[in-house]
């Protein structure tokens, strides 16, 4: 099997330790592979050891370095202990990718308080806990870079209001931390992926499953994004090349969050995807669209 085809130099993150939450699948898995291909030791965090083990095996098979920690980012004490354990094993944390998250489709009136709280804790509270512990236990003294995952929530998120509220909170948290922690040499940025061809698409059922194959028609570039198009942006924001960039959220959505509903999108095939991930695969829900 060929190696990851990153646009960055192979030793960009040599000897650096990078944590990726939600590293067992999707964008987290892809980002872990690219960071490892660029010389980093990647620490994969997630709730299922089996998924983490699978990605770790892939990375080591490709010649990279990786370790795993089962961690529920919603649990404050578990997060504290996990970061402490990583530092004992690795000595330092250079970068954190807060990728973990999740939600379920539902109109606002059908979301229970328990369901709303679960999504907010997963997407917002967990991000905060990881940021705080990595900062207080390491980056406060040594500097570093944090990249947070958010989403296209600028026009609201009809059908996923709980996630929209949480993701908007992540963007504001990113801006706040960028100001407060600048004194420690820590940069915090965000990425907001649009519709990305990722395994997460296969978790949706019902109406959402039928909508997914039609989404590319609503994107000005007339296609969905690839996992590696998100990963490359994350790698840039973690790198020294973005040393004067902090407190921003980069939209990776083919301009889907721009424009007006009255502007007709022309059909075309002019946008060519970048797909550097040698282990990428098409989600089943999009394979059905091709048949």
Largest CA distance in the chain: 56
Backbone angles phi, psi at 35, to 5 degrees: -60, -40
User: CB-hemisphere CA count at 13 Å for 11?
Assistant: 0
3-state secondary structure of 142: helix
**In sequence order, which ranges of 75-226 are alpha helices (DSSP H)?**
76-90, 113-120, 126-134, 140-142, 161-180, 206-211
Distance CA 156, CA 118 (A): 19
User: Which pLDDT value is given to residue 50?
Assistant: 97
Percent of the chain with pLDDT over 70: 98
Helical axes 26-37 vs 49-61, angle rounded to 10°: 30
User: Which pLDDT value is given to residue 1?
Assistant: 59
| pLDDT of 199 strictly over 80 | no
75, two tokens: 């649990």
Helical axes 161-180 vs 113-120, angle rounded to 10°: 40
Domain boundaries along the sequence of the chain: 17-290
| Nearest CA among 90, 285, 75 for reference residue 197 | 285
CATH (residue range 17-290): 3.40.50.720
User: CB-hemisphere CA count at 13 Å for 14?
Assistant: 4
* pLDDT per residue as tens digits for the range 1-53: 579 999 999 999 999 999 999 999 999 999 999 999 999 999 999 999 999 99
* pLDDT per residue as tens digits for the range 203-258: 777 777 788 888 888 899 999 999 999 999 999 999 999 999 999 999 999 999 98
**Cα end-to-end span (Å), the chain:** 27
222, two tokens: 């007339």
Distance CA 283, CA 187 (A): 33
Distance CA 133, CA 115 (A): 26
User: Which pLDDT value is given to residue 10?
Assistant: 94
Which pTM was predicted?
0.93
* pLDDT per residue as tens digits for the range 117-152: 999 999 999 999 999 999 999 999 999 999 999 998
């Amino acid at each position: 099997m060929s190696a990851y085809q990153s646009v960055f130099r192979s030793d960009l993150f040599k000897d650096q330790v990078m944590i990726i939450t939600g590293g067992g699948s999707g964008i987290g898995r892809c980002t872990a592979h690219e960071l490892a291909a660029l010389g980093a030791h990647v620490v994969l965090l997630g709730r299922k050891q089996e998924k983490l083990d699978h990605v770790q095996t892939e990375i080591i098979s490709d010649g990279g370095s990786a370790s795993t920690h089962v961690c529920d980012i919603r649990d404050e004490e578990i997060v504290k202990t996990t970061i402490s354990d990583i530092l004992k094993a690795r000595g330092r944390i250079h970068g954190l990718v807060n990728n973990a998250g999740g939600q379920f489709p539902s109109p606002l009136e059908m979301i229970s308080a328990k369901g709303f709280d679960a999504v907010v804790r997963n997407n917002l509270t967990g991000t905060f806990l990881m940021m705080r512990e990595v900062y207080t236990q390491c980056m406060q003294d040594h500097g570093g870079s944090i990249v947070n995952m958010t989403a296209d929530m600028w026009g609201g998120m009809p059908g996923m209001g709980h996630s929209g509220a949480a993701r908007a909170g992540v963007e504001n948290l990113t801006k706040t931390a960028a100001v407060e922690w600048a004194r420690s040499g820590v940069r915090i940025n965000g990425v907001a992926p649009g519709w990305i061809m990722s395994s997460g698409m296969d978790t949706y059922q019902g109406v959402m499953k039928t909508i997914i194959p039609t989404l590319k028609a609503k994107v000005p570039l007339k296609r969905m994004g690839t996992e590696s198009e998100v990963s490359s942006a994350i790698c840039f924001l973690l790198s020294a090349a973005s040393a004067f960039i902090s407190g921003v959220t980069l939209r990776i959505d083919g301009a889907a969050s721009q424009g007006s509903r009255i502007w007709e999108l022309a059909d075309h095939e002019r946008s060519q995807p970048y797909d550097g991930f040698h282990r990428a695969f098409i989600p089943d829900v999009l394979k059905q669209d091709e048949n």
